[in-house]
Amino acid sequence: MKKDWVKLNLFYIGKSKKHQIFRAKQWNKNLEKVFRQPVYNEKYEKIGYVKDIFGPVDLPFISIKDLPDQQFDPNLKVYTKLP
């Protein structure tokens, strides 16, 4: 089965103790499949994974756990693959 690349349209909220927190600017029910999926930067290098999706159903918050050896830039465009 082919996986499709999806750009996550996110607004950076801030950093918690262990995760980067974003708010979705656009959302549809199909994007719930990104839960626990790896996330990539514009060069398609793995930078972390979606740890949690929480909050309002129409525009939820997204928690991304960044990799330990990565310097996380909140202005990056974030991509993932839908399973």
Domain range summary for the chain, segments of one domain joined by +? 4-82
Q: Is 75 a residue whose pLDDT tops 90?
A: no
Question: Model confidence at 4, in pLDDT bands (50, 70, 90)?
Answer: confident
CA-wise closest residue to 36 among 53, 24, 21: 53
Measure the CA–CA gap between 69 and 33, rounded to whole angstroms.
26
Percent of the residues in the chain that have a pLDDT greater than 90, as a whole number:
63
The CATH architecture assigned to 4-82 reads Beta Barrel (2.40)
Question: Model confidence at 73, in pLDDT bands (50, 70, 90)?
Answer: confident
pTM, whole model, 2 decimals?
0.87
Question: Model confidence at 2, in pLDDT bands (50, 70, 90)?
Answer: low
Average pLDDT, the chain: 90
